[in-house]
Structure 1
Amino acid sequence: MTLDAKLVVTRPAFTLDITLEVQPGEVVALLGPNGAGKTTALRALAGLTRLSGGHISLRGRPLHTLPAESRPIGMVFQDYLLFPHLTALDNVAFGPRCRGVSKAEARSTAAALLKRVGLADRAGAKPRQLSGGQAQRVALARALAVQPELLLLDEPLAALDAHTRLEIRSELRRHLADFDGVTVLVTHDPLDAMVLADRLIVIENGAIVQQGTPAEVARRPRTDYVARLVGLNLYRGVADDARVKVGELLLHTFEQLDGPAFVAFPPAAVALYRARPDGSPRNLWQARIEGIERHGDNVRVHLDGPITAFADITPAALADLDLTPGQMIWASVKATETHAYPA
């Protein structure tokens, strides 16, 4: 194990208490709502926030007793924090110079890293002359210049516009794949996490509530936050064979289970009707429309009834059904569209 950390940070109204185990070459993303403790965890690893308890061990060596400047860590901040008076080359060379490397060697290392991130021709540019994507790559090169064993990324794509973000995200994934140390990434963007990370750790209220590969987390969310993150309706109930009772509603499912269980289904699987449909689908309930909003190319309808749910329909379907907030309608979902798993 390369990184073994027990991070406990206690504040008057908040306590972070999580355990991290990350392997060499692995990229782990910390996800969670605002105030969950993601950035606190990253700052604790970097030595910028003092631990109240626990430990940090990297390759079997304790780090928590070392000051931030003595830890073998590279960090990319959300706003990059490039030195405005230095060129891209000198920004990247700064770390090695601080560690006693000669000016010539530091600049040689910096030039090689700028070439690696595709910015050899921008070595003489100062930060104000760089685009957002270029500044992000300089910040990554600067973090790698100190040959870190642990790379920390704090919302590394948040400052980019949507078009640039798409391009830089794929580039960053390639660079992280070439890094053989440990990478811990903090992000609130599920797409960034899904593309960049090998494993997701979801933090809520200072504690880990779920972890696994992106596919595992997306398929089996365990909290409302995770369900919203991956775009699913999620409910907790009690299973009896191929049925799960959620409150007063009995949902028929594809899987057969017994005991506490989750049921999830995508908003696109929810069908809406003005009147009770013929044939009465097995999963059918009456609901009130609480709101209607655009959602990508579709329309998202917020439903309140025996269960709250989102339904995604086309604009044409919205017009045909003539739906309005406050209206009572019928909603259904096929058992084959549901996914049930143990709670």
Structure 2
Amino acid sequence: MNRPTGTGPAPKGPLEGPLEGPLEGLDARLVVERGAFRLDVALTVAPGEVVALLGPNGAGKTTALRALAGLEPLTDGHLRLDGTELERVPPESRPVGVVFQDYLLFPHLSALDNVAFGPRCRGASKAEARERAAGWLERLGLTAHAGARPRRLSGGQAQRVALARALATSPRLLLLDEPLAALDARTRLEVRAQLRRHLAEFEAVAVLVTHDPLDAMVLADRLVVVEDGRVVQEGTPAETARRPRTDYIAQLVGLNLYRGRADGHTVRLDTGAEVTVTESLAGPVFVAFPPVAVTLHGDRPADISARNVWRCEVAGLETHGDQIRADLTGELPLAADLTTVAAAQLDLRPGAEVWAAVKAAQTHAYPV
């Protein structure tokens, strides 16, 4: 996404009221200790950048978001937004807008008054707040629903009202907690596209928490992957998808991932198997390849390098899109995608023995 960056005063954009002072972005180290769990995550986000915190359940994503909002006190670390220390600033006084997973709209207020609530809390008169709210509802295509209460809104409409409410106070930091999780698949597709457009026009810092890789890939400029309270990988969506560094990330982006030691074009994996790769490397490496690159055979194929053929056993089968995914154990545990016709021809079933093969050209090796 093309967004303005820099440290000078921000111009007034189509989705932003006037912002006072320079935009410097977010500089934080979030340390939160709670029982046996410890979160220690460093975040640096530039103005106009959208960063997605991605990770499995219990990784610490929501704890990090709550710490940014001031709802979870820091045990250690720091939190600076546009050069201002926020650790001791109460949540209601922070220039932060939050879109919660369940939206948390006030059920007794209309959409207009829900959006006007923030400006009213910041000192705007009732007329000023409602005028600003009406402008936001218009920008988000909700003018016709201004008088509707939340129970009268669809999921997509409620999500946009929640976004308008968060943006109506001209926040320097926008936090989105699983903003599309409550939507059905069809509505999610439409609202994801709308949200991407709105975030592209947002001039300050946006942090998105999600466990959905597609939401992260579509909405974010950069991914920060958190596991067990710490950052395990960060980079652009394309970089992260191409070079996963943990099993969790590999599964998200649909790759078989292994760790081993390279000696030229041969990698001896930690599992004991060997893989021939196109890259010539030395030392600890990752090797990745997609399930669709795996071919299965009833007998050992003779036309592929012996190092890229492994005897396996089918542990399970499941529908994966328009294909069948086979989970294999044996010399090299892996996932393979094949058509229903191919699965039938091989008579695949749990316990069946097969040979799995991958061409060297379809592997990707990179340093640890």
Q: What TM bracket, shorter-length normalisation?
A: over 0.9
- Counterpart CA distance in 1 for 2:305 and 2:275 is 11
Partner of 1:244: 267
* Identical-residue share of aligned pairs (%): 66
Among 271, 284, 296, the residue aligned to 1:272 = 296
Q: Are 2:257 and 1:234 equivalent residues in the alignment?
A: yes
Describe the SS at the equivalent of 1:136. helix
Partner of 1:306: 331
Could you report, residue by residue, the CA deviation over 1:243-271 in whole angstroms, capped at 9, with x for unpaired residues? 11113211000111100000000000000
- Corresponding letter in the other structure for 2:39: L
- Counterpart CA distance in 2 for 1:105 and 1:79 is 27
Alignment of 1:11-160 (within 5 A): 11-160=34-183
- Corresponding letter in the other structure for 2:265: A
Describe the SS at the equivalent of 1:157. coil
Q: TM-score, normalised by structure 2?
A: 0.92
- Counterpart CA distance in 2 for 1:244 and 1:150 is 45
Describe the SS at the equivalent of 1:158. coil
- Corresponding letter in the other structure for 2:164: A
- Counterpart CA distance in 2 for 1:211 and 1:305 is 32
- Counterpart CA distance in 2 for 1:130 and 1:317 is 46
Partner of 2:312: 287
Provide the aligned length of Structure 1 versus Structure 2: 343
Q: Are 2:265 and 1:257 equivalent residues in the alignment?
A: no
Could you report, residue by residue, the CA deviation over 1:32-81 in whole angstroms, capped at 9, with x for unpaired residues? 00000000000000000111111100011001111100100000000000
Among 296, 304, 309, the residue aligned to 2:321 = 296
| Structure 2 unmatched runs, 5+ | 1-23
8 Å CA contact 2:97, 2:166 repeated in 1: yes
Describe the SS at the equivalent of 1:172. helix
- Counterpart CA distance in 1 for 2:292 and 2:304 is 19
Describe the SS at the equivalent of 1:54. strand
Moved more, 320-329 or 182-191: 320-329
8 Å CA contact 2:304, 2:359 repeated in 1: no
Describe the SS at the equivalent of 1:193. helix
Cα offset for 1:280? Answer: 4.3
- Corresponding letter in the other structure for 1:245: R
Among 207, 213, 217, the residue aligned to 2:240 = 217
- Corresponding letter in the other structure for 1:182: V
- Counterpart CA distance in 1 for 2:298 and 2:331 is 17
- Counterpart CA distance in 1 for 2:29 and 2:272 is 41
Moved more, 82-91 or 240-249: 240-249
8 Å CA contact 2:325, 2:336 repeated in 1: yes
8 Å CA contact 2:312, 2:355 repeated in 1: yes
- Counterpart CA distance in 2 for 1:334 and 1:276 is 14
Partner of 1:335: 360
- Corresponding letter in the other structure for 1:18: V
Could you report, residue by residue, the CA deviation over 1:152-177 in whole angstroms, capped at 9, with x for unpaired residues? 00000000000000000010000011
Cα offset for 1:278? Answer: 2.5
Could you report, residue by residue, the CA deviation over 1:279-335 in whole angstroms, capped at 9, with x for unpaired residues? 343400101111111111000000111221000000000011111111111100000
Could you report, residue by residue, the CA deviation over 1:213-243 in whole angstroms, capped at 9, with x for unpaired residues? 0000000000000000000000000001111
| Structure 1 unmatched runs, 5+ | none
Q: Are 2:198 and 1:198 equivalent residues in the alignment?
A: no
- Counterpart CA distance in 1 for 2:305 and 2:235 is 34
Among 197, 211, 219, the residue aligned to 1:174 = 197
Cα offset for 1:141? Answer: 0.1
Q: TM-score, normalised by structure 1?
A: 0.99
- Counterpart CA distance in 2 for 1:143 and 1:279 is 60
Could you report, residue by residue, the CA deviation over 1:117-163 in whole angstroms, capped at 9, with x for unpaired residues? 11011101110110000000000000000110000000000000000
Among 30, 33, 41, the residue aligned to 1:10 = 33
Could you report, residue by residue, the CA deviation over 1:184-223 in whole angstroms, capped at 9, with x for unpaired residues? 0000000000000000000000000000000000000000
Describe the SS at the equivalent of 1:326. coil
- Counterpart CA distance in 1 for 2:304 and 2:52 is 44
- Counterpart CA distance in 2 for 1:307 and 1:24 is 45
- Corresponding letter in the other structure for 2:52: A
- Counterpart CA distance in 2 for 1:236 and 1:278 is 27
